[in-house]
Structure 1
């Protein structure tokens, strides 16, 4: 039971059974700060403080402040206490995030002392940041003019500026920002809280400071605490150290509502595209739906979106695809706004199909509203949503983080924070409403008869990124021309002063203000998943028995050893086809509906695992993952067998629809994962594993799919034949290893059910096939219509005669959080940069949303020199040890523990190997780290690099490129 706490008024207390927690709402007496305490016995604690931060322009001031407050504060007067925390904390989450109308600062940890430290640093950061003392923080994190030589052009630099240049590079990012702006022209949502690149340089220091003064006050704050802690002690500490330093302040941070439109609004814009983008329209039809505080309506609309657009059986998606409208059609229901938005998207639409996009939507929805939605689709969608809610899979993150974000959805708009922590009553009502026309009425009210809607249309424009860059160059040239000689010199001096600020280290001993754990707080034993291997006839079962709340996680790992290389791209395509094609006993619509009604989820993946005991040994694998309630296991494995053995590939029209959808999905991923593309492409020249990944899901695979789609009429028969042949290799009981994660008492009952299904599969001998791999030289640029770059460089250190060592785990942390952070991110303006050293021998450095190419590659080449003279203090060595352990000991969920166990088993990774690496990590010294300098130097001297990004930047770079590929 809740009880009074000094300095706070208890407003409400309630046990919430859905999260098995006591939830208490307090108000801080002096400042009216709002506090939600979610108490239970979970040792994985979390803290989040949030503020309503409605922007009044698109300079990105909420986003820039989110970055800037973490750059030093009253108690922690370092340049970057956030990084100091990341280096030496056992945190399981440490981040901050800017929404359209709020800014949140969440952390989590399983260590009590660490949790207290993290909370204190974040509270000091938001309430007492150094931004009032150091204008340079805005210049670094936001934007600045940069000029070192009077003859050189002026540049814009800044972390957020470059981040948002990258964010505005994809049609999805541009489209969804434009949707918000168009639907809410008179509210805060008309502005871009993250910052529009064209407007970020309009932000003045005075406006920056004024925004913090206006909104970062306890009277405008929302604090959420979760887990097993002493609530009285914690809240009294927050009051004494922070809240008590302030008085109540009347703050106008109210989020106004947009009035409904009298007629539909249409907005058009452009996005950067490649020359071959013939059918490139991005269309969206968008409807404002109710209030986010109406939990039942929100859940109902999410179910409706799923029914209409998310599955192969979805009637609206099917109709649009059947009309040839777009290569992909999908829906989104955005509930992170006060007035949520229901969106229907058509991607890669031909211009002559534009009007039909809207017509088909109305035709289908009018028919469904009149004649009713299929009940089996509604039941399936309800089952899927209920499974998600009851499973509550947090993927290892603290559940408190998810509950904090859920509470903020309603709380930030002055409704109860409990709204999104509950669901039982709403689920019951939605089940009751299955047959009474409730969902049909939602279609009429919130879509067909809803005038608060907008059509947002984006047209592809070749060379737009160059136009944008040229416009910026012209603007800066004009600004430079307007400066007097004296003003020009002052700018040069300001740049020098700023460079000196960045280069000047913190005062000696300043880092010691950051609280640090001790070595004895760290676990010496390696974290290894629980599992046993059981043999049933000839099938290996990797069984992890943990509490799963009556859910069975069943994975089939299908070995692709012995299958010729020519089949691999087709197996990559099959990943996106299974579950979306007819089978022997089901149409693809009926198959999708049946899975939704009985199974939590079923997904398909292709991957190559490194064999831990061989230099370039790799294990190509096709994976079918599924989860279902225990009472549906028979149906779960039966459907796995149906899909694996009876999928039909003869419907050429359906295959083309899926191929187009696959292509569109990959295009969306490309625009947001440039760093992964750069380093994966680089590593494909260094190992079989990465080459396999490149051929089955990388850029090479993307081009393979594009060629098939473009030439479908001439390659259709050949493709169908190849798909059938590749698919035929999968249904072979000799290839299957089963992964099972389930409650202890259920395992023995479930294994015979699975084995019965596997026994029905054919059996074929696996012929050994040695796939020769040769390291190929590469200096590659992949050209993509983006305003930023992703720069990767690396090699395989085992090729140079070096072995993997546990000290490389710390090396990764040191380089990522010190050298790369300060040199590539802070000083050179990239949004991010990191590195990796893998057991396979592959090592790489890669930047993220980077304005540079040459400079970044040169900074990589200087790393050996940095390592040669590295001299960390005992405190710093401990700090990096803690930070490294934090990444290694990420908490398991039942699903992730089982999946990790299966991966370790297949890769041959034993517990003693992990323990050896951990022991080597604990023994790492300055000498250990210095000894890696020759390894890094020899690898970098191989000059293997890959750049993914801007055509103009590649053209202007001094770097040699032996190959340039247009993505």
Structure 2
């Protein structure tokens, strides 16, 4: 067994793997071993780190040649059975035979990945075996292709005259993806900014998916899924000798090396700048070559070389507070080769300075000015995952009459910034964030690290340079010291003077939904029109075969499964100390946190007046974004960026110990912050300013922030990512108190409230607007006066990523297991609770600062000052059995049933039942047979919720 990397010298060969490079990355406490399997041509990267959550992934470079979604459908089909495991969907069947902390597969624009992670060493071996056999020896059956990709099928299999429809998991998934207009925008931007290298949609477009054949899928597999085109990753405390031996004997040793798939070309640059023509130039949607699927574009404008423009339409968003602000505009720049590691690092700092934070030039000129309401994520910021890196400035909530102004406004801001540069303290704040990011750890660190390096590895980049962040920072500092105009020159070269840029304008069209429906009918008619009578009979025959196969009971004995012997009987202990400080409970957690200190406080708001509960989420969102204690919001934002990793507030509700599930649950306001050890005094100073003297009178600032929330977090596009959770919250709202608060704080009810609020405080009638704003500010102050008192706080200080549920006396056992904490004793319910996590070197000074902080926090005036008032009853029940109309072409549904309290003896059985239902019954019925992208169940105290999506 290989115990460490000391025996891994460059040139040594272990189980067919030749070691090509070994190096340490001190900032990540990591040793990297790069290997090459000589017989098969596969590359392997082992990331050795003291972490029990071991991670594995296989990655292939997969470049699409059309819009049929062939890489995406292949990703699904590969996981539907293999040579050693000839069962339907071993991937999902392993969910109930494993302790995996992560299992998935991803299709990117130019790569496909199959990652997994687990903390069980036997489980790791089992899962690697299943995954490796799946990707290198898949079955690729035709029925699996029909299920996962697309198929024609009678609406009613029992009726021979029933009309044919298109079904398929990926087909439905991509209909759902493009129901989100910002996903449509993102795809159009990528296809048109980089038309030669990324002109096709790897995920597939519903118009083109029905053109894909089973034979083409198999050919693509044989062209791209060879070990010579693979990069294999492993991470953590794994048995490297056994792992390498298995890969060699069971998989890679059965192949012979060949040439890998062609590399993705660097996008040819548009070399001349030209103003946008004022007269639309109608062109083919295939001009320039490989530009794809602007199916709703009504114009495509381009100068012969240089700046180009695309206009397209989308579904109207009924959730908008102001329908006149429905425009979305993006300006995108092609930057440089992803292999230019340092250049991209320097550009990432410049681009953050341009967009991030309240003092950023683009934020002030585009959002604070009122031209737009929020950034249009995911089309915003730097994209470092394609061969040619890109920068996007995307703005949503633009007035229809202003859409033509955005492009010029952005360029004017960039030109001005190229002249004036940035204040030195803002540069220091961004570098401070980089330093904190290096030190941060997480439960899924291995997975996130592999995802972060995957694109550079995919294009053959320098892994040492990519991981050596400290060297990059030091070089950046040296360049800036040598040339004070270094940042301005980057802006001038890559943005202001860059002719390779694309503007996209997206506007709503009332006819969009009807157009989509007609396109769907056309797809079916086109597919059916190609069939002869014999072909139609074959469709019915195959559909019935698939339905029978989906219902067939299988022998799963070939799949590996953990036994009780393989599972540790106890979780890892995470010791902590409970004490008192200033009359409030304090939890201290000593842990290796790499020089970071984490702080948490819970303010008990269970007795908050009922009419204020719905305002708590917006209060929490505004809490860390206002001016305070005589400082402007820009000054406070800068100080927070310079001295903390984050400072925020969030609502928090947990079920109590009372068996009556309708009894009011525990409601808290959760305050959190973290920083470097040396910054602890400043962190508490900033917290104190926030708690004591937030500026709730800055009407323009509050209006801007509320509009950002409504246009961003609560828009139909954002809701689509978690629409099934919205359905679950609504369905569970009347079953228990926690369900009611979840709906109120993060469900459909909160979304509707935020739209009403945005309308009220932006009312064109000055008198009504002023009255609404005064009422809103009064409620914000009332929440602050009620919650932010010393006797309402509980404290936690720690040096580990903030992953624990802090409501210790009301903690859910599911959280206990997830965060690997021991059972906690019940303690009295004080008003305010605190927690500190950190290394011993940092906790002593942190406790002193915390003591000063408590002394500065206003005293409680509730009762005797030591006891919280009686919990306020929940708001009245909501209307259920509802259909919520949103601009999606797919549906998100939920049914919720009563369940016992977590203290009930049968509650663990409900947890097991939910897990078994998901993989054994719901997945086959909802995904395999129904064709939806996903579905399942979730149990919580009082609620057993079922859901499906897309």
- TM-score range for the pair, normalised by the shorter chain length: 0.7 to 0.9
Is 1:740 aligned to residue 797 of structure 2? yes
1:796 Cα deviation after fit: 2.1
Q: Deviations over 1:329-362 (max 9, x none)?
A: 3632111101111111111211211132222212
Is 1:515 aligned to residue 572 of structure 2? no
For 1:641 and 1:233, the matched residues in 2 are separated by 54
Is 1:168 aligned to residue 178 of structure 2? yes
CA distance change for structure 1 residues 801 and 739 in 2, over 3 Å: closer, same or farther? closer
Q: Which residue of 2 aligns with 1:843?
A: 944
For 1:408 and 1:480, the matched residues in 2 are separated by 41
CA distance change for structure 1 residues 271 and 9 in 2, over 3 Å: closer, same or farther? same
CA distance change for structure 1 residues 480 and 236 in 2, over 3 Å: closer, same or farther? closer
CA distance change for structure 1 residues 528 and 663 in 2, over 3 Å: closer, same or farther? farther
CA distance change for structure 1 residues 801 and 315 in 2, over 3 Å: closer, same or farther? closer
**Which sits farther off after the overlay, 10-19 or 120-129?**
10-19
Q: Which residue of 2 aligns with 1:356?
A: 405
CA distance change for structure 1 residues 504 and 532 in 2, over 3 Å: closer, same or farther? same
For 1:42 and 1:682, the matched residues in 2 are separated by 39
- Structure 1 regions of 5+ residues with no counterpart? 850-967
Q: Which residue of 1 aligns with 2:53?
A: 44
For 1:800 and 1:299, the matched residues in 2 are separated by 48
CA distance change for structure 1 residues 696 and 99 in 2, over 3 Å: closer, same or farther? same
Is 1:421 aligned to residue 421 of structure 2? no
- 1:153-232 matches, within 5 Å, as 153-187=163-197, 189-232=198-241
**Which sits farther off after the overlay, 326-335 or 557-566?**
326-335
Q: Which residue of 2 aligns with 1:629?
A: 676
SS of residue paired to 2:166: strand
Alignment partner of 1:767 out of 855, 869, 875: 869
**Which sits farther off after the overlay, 685-694 or 119-128?**
685-694
1:246 Cα deviation after fit: 1.3
Alignment partner of 1:139 out of 139, 142, 146: 146
1:774 Cα deviation after fit: 5.6
1:682 Cα deviation after fit: 1.3
Is 1:488 aligned to residue 569 of structure 2? no
Q: Deviations over 1:392-413 (max 9, x none)?
A: x23x12x332332233221211
Alignment partner of 1:263 out of 287, 306, 316: 306
1:772 Cα deviation after fit: 5.0
- Structure 2 regions of 5+ residues with no counterpart? 1-5, 271-304, 799-837, 863-867
SS of residue paired to 2:787: coil
**Contact conserved, 1:286 with 1:341, CA < 8 A, in 2?**
yes
SS of residue paired to 1:662: helix
1:472 Cα deviation after fit: 1.0
Alignment partner of 1:794 out of 879, 892, 896: 896
1:481 Cα deviation after fit: 6.1
- 1:662-811 matches, within 5 Å, as 662-665=709-712, 666-667=714-715, 668-712=717-761, 713=763, 714=768, 715-741=772-798, 742-763=838-859, 764-765=861-862, 766-772=868-874, 778-798=880-900, 804-811=906-913
1:298 Cα deviation after fit: 2.2
Is 1:440 aligned to residue 483 of structure 2? no
1:826 Cα deviation after fit: 0.9
**Which sits farther off after the overlay, 480-489 or 221-230?**
480-489
Q: Deviations over 1:663-715 (max 9, x none)?
A: 01221421211111100111122222222232233222222221222232322
**Contact conserved, 2:582 with 2:854, CA < 8 A, in 1?**
no
Q: Which residue of 2 aligns with 1:540?
A: 585
For 2:708 and 2:656, the matched residues in 1 are separated by 33
CA distance change for structure 1 residues 581 and 41 in 2, over 3 Å: closer, same or farther? closer
Q: Which residue of 1 aligns with 2:624?
A: 579
1:434 Cα deviation after fit: 4.1
1:287 Cα deviation after fit: 0.8
For 1:48 and 1:333, the matched residues in 2 are separated by 25
**Contact conserved, 1:50 with 1:105, CA < 8 A, in 2?**
yes
**Contact conserved, 1:375 with 1:434, CA < 8 A, in 2?**
no
Alignment partner of 1:327 out of 370, 373, 388: 373
**Contact conserved, 2:80 with 2:139, CA < 8 A, in 1?**
yes
SS of residue paired to 2:791: helix
CA distance change for structure 1 residues 264 and 740 in 2, over 3 Å: closer, same or farther? same
Q: Which residue of 1 aligns with 2:503?
A: 455
1:454 Cα deviation after fit: 0.6
1:532 Cα deviation after fit: 2.6
Q: Deviations over 1:73-105 (max 9, x none)?
A: 011111111122211112222111111001111
**Contact conserved, 1:293 with 1:419, CA < 8 A, in 2?**
no
**Which sits farther off after the overlay, 614-623 or 653-662?**
614-623
Q: Deviations over 1:304-347 (max 9, x none)?
A: 23222121222210111233211113632111101111111111
For 1:209 and 1:675, the matched residues in 2 are separated by 34
- 1:16-31 matches, within 5 Å, as 16-31=25-40
CA distance change for structure 1 residues 775 and 316 in 2, over 3 Å: closer, same or farther? closer
**Contact conserved, 2:655 with 2:666, CA < 8 A, in 1?**
yes
1:533 Cα deviation after fit: 1.8
Q: Which residue of 2 aligns with 1:389?
A: 438
For 2:753 and 2:337, the matched residues in 1 are separated by 45
1:722 Cα deviation after fit: 2.5
TM-score (norm 2): 0.85
Q: Deviations over 1:448-483 (max 9, x none)?
A: 111111112211223523431332124424654665
CA distance change for structure 1 residues 698 and 776 in 2, over 3 Å: closer, same or farther? closer
SS of residue paired to 2:426: helix
**Contact conserved, 1:407 with 1:418, CA < 8 A, in 2?**
no
For 1:411 and 1:520, the matched residues in 2 are separated by 38
**Contact conserved, 1:274 with 1:462, CA < 8 A, in 2?**
no
SS of residue paired to 1:23: strand
Alignment partner of 1:564 out of 606, 609, 617: 609
1:725 Cα deviation after fit: 2.5
1:529 Cα deviation after fit: 4.4
SS of residue paired to 1:289: strand
For 1:430 and 1:830, the matched residues in 2 are separated by 48
1:777 Cα deviation after fit: 5.9
**Contact conserved, 2:403 with 2:505, CA < 8 A, in 1?**
no
SS of residue paired to 1:490: helix
**Which sits farther off after the overlay, 196-205 or 682-691?**
682-691
**Contact conserved, 1:292 with 1:339, CA < 8 A, in 2?**
yes
**Contact conserved, 2:741 with 2:874, CA < 8 A, in 1?**
no
Alignment partner of 1:283 out of 329, 352, 367: 329
For 1:718 and 1:772, the matched residues in 2 are separated by 22
For 2:593 and 2:526, the matched residues in 1 are separated by 64
For 1:371 and 1:825, the matched residues in 2 are separated by 56
SS of residue paired to 1:779: coil
SS of residue paired to 2:350: helix
1:749 Cα deviation after fit: 3.6
Task: Please provide the CA RMSD for this pair.
Answer: 2.1
**Contact conserved, 2:610 with 2:875, CA < 8 A, in 1?**
no
CA distance change for structure 1 residues 280 and 216 in 2, over 3 Å: closer, same or farther? same
Q: Which residue of 2 aligns with 1:906?
A: none
**Contact conserved, 2:419 with 2:488, CA < 8 A, in 1?**
yes
**Contact conserved, 2:72 with 2:203, CA < 8 A, in 1?**
yes
For 1:186 and 1:811, the matched residues in 2 are separated by 50
